[in-house]
Amino acid sequence: MVDVAPHKVIHVITRLDWGGSAQNTLLTAAGHDRSRFDPMVVAGLPGPWDAQGGNRATDENRRRLEAIGVRAEVIPTLTREVNPLKDLRTLRRLTRLFRHERPAIVHTHTSKAGVLGRLAAWFAKVPVVVHTPHGHVFYGHFNRILSWMFLQVERLLATGTTRMIALTAAERDEHLDRRVGTPERFAVVPSGIDVDRLKCVAGVYGRHPEGFRCPPDAVVVGSVGWLTPVKGHRFLIEAVARLKPSHPKLYTVIVGSGDMRTDLAALAEQRGVGDSVRFLGERNDVPECLAAMDLFVLPSLNEGMGRALVEAMAAGRPVIATRVGGIPAIVEDRRTGLLVPPGDPAALATAIAELLRRPDWAKELGAAASVHIDARFGWVAMVRALEAVYEDALREARLT
C-alpha cells in the first residue's frame, strides 16, 4: 500500500484574536486529521486594534498553535483597514508564500483576508480555494456606497472560489440573493463551539464571578461581543434604561472590548443607568459569566451566525436576539428564545420585560435552547464537515 502525503492547507485570517471567526479558525486548524491534512495558519497583526484581545491574543493564539505542531505566521501588513500600500505588500507576501509552500488548499476567513488571500491563491495557481465570510459586510457595517463596492468585489471574487462556506443556510441565502456565488459551490457548516464545557452551566443561575460587581439579588441581563456599532449594544442600553424605573434590581453586564466602550458608558450615564451597567472587557471565563446571567441579549444589526449566541444557548440561558442574518436559523421564536427587529430598543425592552415577568417560562426557553444546541454545533463536527468539503473540492480538482 502506498502512503499518501497529507494535503497542505493554509488558513488565512485577518485577525487571530478572541473573536468568533478567529476561534473558528483555531479550532479548525487544531482539529484537522493530520493523516489527511497538514495545516498552517497565516494572520494579520491587529496593531492599535485592541478589541477581542488585539496583539496579546494574536501572540497567545500563535503560541497555542505552534505548541500543537501547527505552523503559524503573522503578516504585519495584513490589517483590517483599507491601505493600498500595505495591501499590495500583503498580496505580494502571500503570493510568495503560496508559491513556496505549494498548498493544495487555501482557506480564507473574513472579508479582508478573503480578498487578498484569494487573489494571492489565484496568482500562485493554488488548486482549491475555499472562503468562509463569517457573516458579510453587505449591510450594517458601512455606508451605502461602501457596502455596494464591497458587494461588487465579493461577486467578482466568488467566480473564482472553489467552495464558499456559510455558517447558516440564511447566510448562504443572503449571498445568493445578492448574486454572490452559486448554489452548487456553497456548503453550510455551523461554527463549532466546546458544547460540553458550556452545557456544564446549563440550569445554573446566580453565581457571580469576580468582576461582576452586581448585588446578590440583581437580575442580570448580559451580552457577549466586541464593542463595535454593528453589535448594537447601544440598543440594549436604551432598552434597559426604559425598564430600570420599574425593575430597580435590573443590571446589565457586557463582556468584550472595543472602541465603543467609552461611548457606550457615556450613553449609559446619559440614560441614567450608568451605575447598573458593567463593562467587563475580555474574559477567559465566558461559561462562568454566562451562568451569572438571567437573560442573554444579542442586539446585532448584522450577524452570520452569532457564536456568542450559540454559546449562551448551549449554556441554557434564555436568549433574545435580533432577526438578522443567520440568527433566525439558530433561534426559533418563542420556542428556543425570542426574536426582535434590529435597532428597535422599544421592542427589545418589551421582550426583556416579558421574560422578567414570566421567569419560569424564561427558564423553559433556556432549557429548550440548550437541548437544541447539540453535537451538530460541536467543534469536532465542524472540522469533519469542513474536511468533507475539502475532499469534495480536491476530487473535483483531481487531486485525490
User: Could you report the per-residue pLDDT of 209-252, keeping only the tens digit for each?
Assistant: 888 889 999 999 999 988 989 899 999 999 999 999 999 999 99
**Residue range 157-174: mean pLDDT, rounded:** 92
**Residue range 69-90: mean pLDDT, rounded:** 93
pLDDT at position 52 is 65
Q: Is the pLDDT of residue 50 over 60?
A: no
pLDDT at position 141 is 57
**pLDDT tens, residue by residue, 293-343:** 999 999 999 887 888 999 999 999 999 999 998 899 899 999 999 999 999
**Residue range 69-85: mean pLDDT, rounded:** 92
**pLDDT tens, residue by residue, 110-143:** 889 999 999 999 999 999 999 999 876 665 555 7
How far is residue 317's CA from residue 368's CA, in Å, rounded to a whole number? 9
**Residue range 247-268: mean pLDDT, rounded:** 94
**Residue range 268-287: mean pLDDT, rounded:** 93
**Residue range 27-52: mean pLDDT, rounded:** 86
**Residue range 193-214: mean pLDDT, rounded:** 87
Least confident of 89-103, 190-204, 362-376: 190-204
Rounded alpha-carbon distances, angstroms, from residue 144 to 136, 138, 304:
14, 9, 19
The answer to whether 7-192+378-396 and 195-376 have equal CATH topology is yes
Q: Are 350 and 239 in contact (CB under 8 A)?
A: no
CATH annotation of 7-192+378-396:
3.40.50.2000
Least confident of 51-60, 229-238, 297-306, 379-388: 51-60
| Closest among 153, 132, 131 to 142, alpha carbons compared | 153
C-beta neighbour count of 275 within 10 angstroms: 10
pLDDT at position 1 is 42
Instruction: Delimit the domains of the chain by residue range.
Output: 7-192+378-396, 195-376
Q: Is the pLDDT of residue 2 over 70?
A: no
Return the CATH number of 195-376, one of 3.40.50.12160, 1.20.1250.20, 3.40.50.2000, 1.10.3720.10.
3.40.50.2000
How far is residue 350's CA from residue 87's CA, in Å, rounded to a whole number? 46
How far is residue 94's CA from residue 88's CA, in Å, rounded to a whole number? 10
Q: What is the mean pLDDT of the chain?
A: 91
